[in-house]
Chain A
């Protein structure tokens, strides 16, 4: 074990502690900003698992955000359920939609899959636009005070001594932060599990993986389903904060997929910390170029292209390549008892 690892872990826990304490110590605007960044981080963690590890380059993730959001709105407005239950329903609805979507899109190989998922997301957007009970093409808003009615808001309000609106912000922020941490841990555990190793084997060589008994289609379908669930949860939670939904906003390919792709690619696709690095850079760019409107999208696009040309593993890949530090290694270390590898047996480059 490299000596840098415990240090890195301590730093990570310290950063996490600060992030959790933020609503108590920082202004509300910062909490709202970070909520947005965390939303993109959760989406990026899901997309990274899908594209970076399972090789499923989806450009249709906005389908799950939109369906998650609309299912949550339906649960609250039409069924009068608690918003937090609504979020869970949002995740489940997205996963349910992922089934027929996979059945269809998996017919398209490799790169064609990307546009196929985009078409399906567009179908979902146009289909939802026909749902008159939720406002059709013009969308609808959450009933006034919905966020404040969530469980725990009163207690947070009392504990932090803030307005109920700020308390609601704190709650959604904590939930999103927890979702991000859960995704990160789940991703790490999953990728080091038998299934996760099978997935990486498929990515490296599908035929070889098949020959050792890994079923690529089933495994990929499972990942597609699980990341749809995560993406749906995230979308539902994000729209509790936004409080208003329209088909164009909920199914926006720029907001929910393009940003996410750039974050992942710039940070380092196929690496676990990549999306975190990418989200931080994205936030910095957004603040820096906030006054220049569309320029920052152009910068993001160019950065993404440059990374693909010059550093395919992104900034995190460059960092680990230069320093040898890997905070969340996915390779299994050889057992301690194993004899040291003789130099001679290593293949010459």
Chain B
């Protein structure tokens, strides 16, 4: 019984990690950009929702819409004015620029909001749960997981069923030939980063309503997200969901043995999977 409960909690936690990872996975896949600031951008999204709720009094679930649009714009600007300028054969500049960005965002938040822990208040829904006979699950974790599935499903539709998705895939395959088709990679990349940050804001909503956050916790979210993407296999969005679930379950199991081992267990699961399956659990056929 305990085990089933632990695994169920881990599964739902995996939904949150999949949300952290979905944007990262998209940007890996299309731009081949490893954004070291992804975790800090999620935290920035959480503070943005917090600010919107404070100013307007809106519920976080409504405020997230405005915040996500703003984050989309931020992603677009970031990609056009900063990241597009450092893309190329040399991997160093984009890594160092995004690392610099990570430090700037972290310390910017620190000076703007102090190091105090904050939380998004979602109201009564936070305490509600559903009794499924075998296990009792919180409504919020269930909603998180459902959102993760919905986001991954929507991104997949976008990727494989729309003209924009076709352009994403073509640019990811061969940016020069895509230009010959009239697809400006700069705009495609800007759109991809914009979408990634909008998804990051959805992740931020659940991060902020479930637990406390402060400006320093971004890098750890980057690591979980990265682990989920690599475990799932690069370029596979459903794989990313699977990867998130693996990390979530490993952490839940670790925590049930000793709360201090939660994070370590997730990392260890990542190492083990990568040693056994270097290309992840669900690698894309090509690539």
Asked whether any CB of A lies within 8 Å of a CB of B in the complex, the reply is yes
Name A residues whose Cβ lies closer than 8 Å to a Cβ of B: 51, 55, 57, 59, 104, 107-108, 110-112, 114-115, 118-120, 122-123, 126-127, 129-130, 137, 253-254, 258, 261-262, 265, 269, 293-295, 297-298, 300-302, 304-305, 308-309, 312
B residues 153-192 touching A (CB-CB < 8 Å): none
Alpha-carbon distance A51/B82, docked complex (angstroms): 22
Alpha-carbon distance between A275 and B43 when the two chains are bound, in angstroms? 32
A294 touches B110 (CB 8 A): yes
User: What 5 pairs between A and B have smallest CB-CB spacing?
Assistant: A111-B34, A301-B104, A301-B103, A126-B264, A294-B107
Q: Which residues of A contact B264 (CB under 8 A)?
A: 123, 126-127, 130
Since A137-B260, A305-B96, A309-B86 are in contact, a sample of 20 more A-B pairs with Cβ atoms closer than 8 Å, ordered by chain A residue number, is A51-B92, A59-B36, A110-B91, A111-B91, A112-B34, A115-B36, A119-B267, A119-B271, A126-B264, A126-B267, A129-B260, A130-B264, A262-B100, A300-B103, A301-B102, A308-B86, A308-B96, A308-B97, A309-B82, A309-B97
B271, A258: Cβ atoms closer than 8 Å? no
Q: Which residue of B has the minimal Cβ distance to A292?
A: B111
Q: Are B92 and A304 in contact (CB-based, < 8 A)?
A: no
The answer to whether A269 touches B92, judged by C-beta atoms less than 8 angstroms apart, is: yes
B268 touches A123 (CB 8 A): yes
Contact of B223 with A294 in the complex, beta carbons under 8 Å: no
16 inter-chain pairs at a CB distance below 8 angstroms, sorted by A residue, are A108-B230, A110-B91, A118-B219, A118-B223, A119-B271, A122-B263, A122-B267, A123-B268, A127-B264, A137-B260, A293-B111, A295-B107, A297-B107, A298-B104, A305-B101, A309-B82
Name the CB-closest residue of B to A126: B264
Instruction: Tell me, in angstroms, the Cα distance from A71 to B82 when the chains sit together.
Output: 42
Which residues of chain A are within 8 angstroms of B133 by Cβ–Cβ distance? none
Tell me which residues across on chain B come within 8 A of A127, comparing CB atoms.
264
- Set of chain A residues within 8 Å of B226, measured between Cβ atoms: 112, 115, 119
From B36, B108, B227, A298 is in contact (CB under 8 Å) with B108
User: Which listed residue, B101, B103, B220, touches A254 by the CB 8 Å rule?
Assistant: B103
Closest to A294 in B: B107
B227 touches A119 (CB 8 A): yes
How many Å lie between the Cα of A112 and that of B110 in the bound state?
28
User: Chain B: which residue is nearest A304 at the CB level?
Assistant: B100
Chain B residues, Cβ within 8 Å of A304: 96-97, 99-100
In the assembled complex, the Cα of A322 lies from the Cα of B271 at a distance in Å of 47
Interface status of B85 (Cβ within 8 A of chain A): yes
- Closest chain A CB from B150 CB (angstroms): 27
Residues 25-45 of B, flagged 1 when their CB comes within 8 A of A and 0 if not, give 000000011101000000000
Q: Roughly how many angstroms separate A121 CA and B92 CA in the complex, as a whole number?
A: 20
Q: Which of A115, A123, A261 contacts B34 (CB 8 A)?
A: A115
B227 partner residues in chain A, CB cutoff 8 A: 119
A119 and B107 alpha carbons, distance in the complex (Å):
22
- Docked CA distance A293–B215 (Å): 15
Q: In whole angstroms, how far apart are the Cα atoms of A114 and B36 in the complex? A: 9
B223 to chain A: which residues have CB within 8 Å?
A: 115, 118-119, 122
Verify if B274 is at the interface (C-beta below 8 Å from A): yes
Question: Given the complex, which residues of B lie within 8 Å of A108, measured CB to CB?
Answer: 230, 274
Q: Does B239 contact A (CB under 8 A)?
A: no
In the complex, what residues of A have CB within 8 A of residue B110's CB? 294
With both beta carbons as reference points, the residue of chain B lying nearest to A52 in the complex is identified as: B92
How many angstroms between the C-alpha atoms of A265 and B103 in the bound complex? Answer: 14
Q: Complex: how many Å from CA A110 to CA B40?
A: 22
Neighbour of B270 across the interface among A119, A130, A294, A312, CB < 8 A: A119
